[in-house]
Amino acid sequence: MQVTLPSSASSFDRAAERARVQQERRRSAIVDLVVTLSTIALALLVGFLVMLIVGKDPILAYSSLLSGPLSRSHRAGRWIEDATTLIILGLSVAIPFRARQFSLGAQGQMFIAAMIAAVIAIYLPLPPVLAILLPLVAAMLAGFVTGLLPGLIKAYLNANEIVSTLMLNAVIVLLYDFLLTNVFTPPGAQSLRSELIQPNSMLLRLSAIFGINLGRANLAVVMVAVLVLAVWVLLSRTPLGYEIRIIGANEKFARYGGINTQRTIALSFAIGGAIAAVAGVHLVLGVHQRLIPAIAAGLGFEGIVVALLARNNPLLIPITGLFYSYLRVGGDIMEQEAAVGAEIVQVIQAVIILLLTAQVLVNYAKSRHRLMRST
């Protein structure tokens, strides 16, 4: 005898499965947050102990470190400025990282984006809104192409993405230095720097909005909010994001399941490059308002730590970016006010990286153990 289940039963099962998946996502987000906060707390404790060992006053030093960035408005502005760049970079590298591709190309993508945006903002007269949108779109296209190149090499030739992105960084940075020296710097200038961008292309600074001195912090914070939402939607609510996550979990399974892994890997690099380009636009249109030497020295690699500290979760990256930038700014203030070298901040950063590395190794061992048990 054939038994037909009522349609309400099947819909109930789908609703229950959907609820289970959402609960699992919430649990995973809570675990990510707890691990991130634990890593931060342990790193701060290690820094505290190091200062005790070397005979410094850790209470005075940590007081300057933890309260310094908020002690004056221009210091808070410096914190916002630095965090804006780091959050954008963290979002950019989180996308290929979720596909388990270790891209180091954000540094070069920032430099190429800065050049493209500056050329348009300096030499092309445009009306107010277009004067910002056109450099932004052109820079993002340049970042997309710059990210796509190593992505294609990795996807179709299986070249090591760490080597290819690092080598491309070197080429772009050297090209930037050459053009800044020989093309962008006006004749007779006292130092290496381009002309100022046109006023219509300058991002409005927060000081003009709030009426207090917030330094060079600017409306790029709005771009950060848009990018956080966009990356979360991409990774969590789109077919491409699903493919990226499946490849990150098990590339062979994704390939056998019909996913075009080569296309998805290449796109993860390219989209990450487009987002990293926004950081270059922020530096040119909002912070320096011109091209200068070493406009983004080392920031691309700091963004990697921000992403790893957030476990590549786009909703946590703003938190880790704000924390990491707070350390950077607080370290400089601590050096000035407590006579403690900013190297202690580097110790804290190094401990964070070591803890993150240990967590990655644990996750890898667990995945290998599950794979061996399943076979």
User: CB–CB of 179/115 below 8 Å?
Assistant: yes
Q: What is the predicted pLDDT for the residue at 53?
A: 78
Angle at 96 between CA 92 and CA 102, to 5 degrees: 105
**For residue 9, pLDDT beyond 50:** no
For 205, phi then psi, to 5°, come to -85, 150
Residues of the chain by 3-state class (helix, strand, coil), percent to 5: 80, 0, 20
Mean pLDDT of the chain: 86
Q: What is the predicted pLDDT for the residue at 65?
A: 79
Confidence band, pLDDT 50/70/90 cuts, at residue 335:
confident
- For residue 205, what are the β-bridge partners? 218
The candidate with the shortest Cα–Cα distance to 146, out of 106, 173, 183, is: 106
Segment of 13-17, 277-281, 298-302 carrying the highest mean pLDDT: 277-281
User: CB–CB of 138/116 below 8 Å?
Assistant: yes
- Over residues 84-119, the pLDDT tens digits come to 999 999 999 999 999 999 899 999 999 999 999 999
Q: Is the four-CA dihedral 163, 166, 169, 173 of positive or negative sign?
A: negative
d(CA 239, CA 269): 17
Please provide the DSSP assignment of 205-270 as one string: BHHHHHSS--TT-BTHHHHHHHHHHHHHHHHHHSHHHHHHHHHHH-HHHHHHTT--HHHHHHHHHH
Please report how many Cα atoms fall inside a 13 Å half-sphere around the Cα of residue 74, on the Cβ side. Answer: 3
d(CA 294, CA 167): 17
**For residue 127, pLDDT beyond 80:** yes
User: CB–CB of 201/137 below 8 Å?
Assistant: no
Please provide the DSSP assignment of 290-331 as one string: S--TTTTTTHHHHHHHHHHHTTT-TTTHHHHHHHHHHHHHHH
Average the pLDDT over 125-132 and give the result.
Answer: 94
**Domains present along the chain, CATH in parentheses:** 73-342 (1.10.3470)
Q: What is the predicted pLDDT for the residue at 155?
A: 93
Confidence band, pLDDT 50/70/90 cuts, at residue 373:
low
- Over residues 345-364, the pLDDT tens digits come to 777 777 777 776 666 555 55
| Of residues 364 and 314, more confidently modeled | 314
Confidence band, pLDDT 50/70/90 cuts, at residue 33:
confident
Provide the 8-state DSSP code for 192: S
Lowest mean pLDDT among 214-218, 327-331, 333-337: 333-337
- Over residues 56-88, the pLDDT tens digits come to 677 877 787 788 888 899 999 999 999 999 999
Q: What is the predicted pLDDT for the residue at 8?
A: 47
Lowest mean pLDDT among 41-45, 94-98, 303-307, 315-319: 41-45
Q: What is the predicted pLDDT for the residue at 366?
A: 55
Please provide the DSSP assignment of 136-190 as one string: HHHHHHHHHHHHHHHHHHHHHH---HHHHHHHHHHHHHHHHHHHIIIIISPTT-S
Confidence band, pLDDT 50/70/90 cuts, at residue 37:
confident
Burial classification of residue 73, based on how many CB atoms lie within 10 Å of its CB (0-12 exposed, 13-18 middle, 19 or more buried): middle
Task: Give the tokens for residue 308.
Answer: 């790893």
The candidate with the shortest Cα–Cα distance to 320, out of 333, 302, 332, is: 302
| Of residues 231 and 370, more confidently modeled | 231
Which residue reads 């990450």 in tokens? Answer: 272
Please provide the DSSP assignment of 50-100 as one string: HHHHTT--HHHHHHHHHHGGGTSHHHHHHHHHHHHHHHHHHHHHHHHHHTT
Taking each helix axis from N to C end, the angle separating 261-281 and 106-123, rounded to the nearest 10 degrees, works out to: 50
Annotate 341-368 with three-state secondary structure.
Answer: CCHHHHHHHHHHHHHHHHHHHHHHHHHH
Task: Give the tokens for residue 263.
Answer: 């296309």
Q: What is the predicted pLDDT for the residue at 174?
A: 95
d(CA 113, CA 86): 16
Confidence band, pLDDT 50/70/90 cuts, at residue 225:
very high
Burial classification of residue 253, based on how many CB atoms lie within 10 Å of its CB (0-12 exposed, 13-18 middle, 19 or more buried): exposed
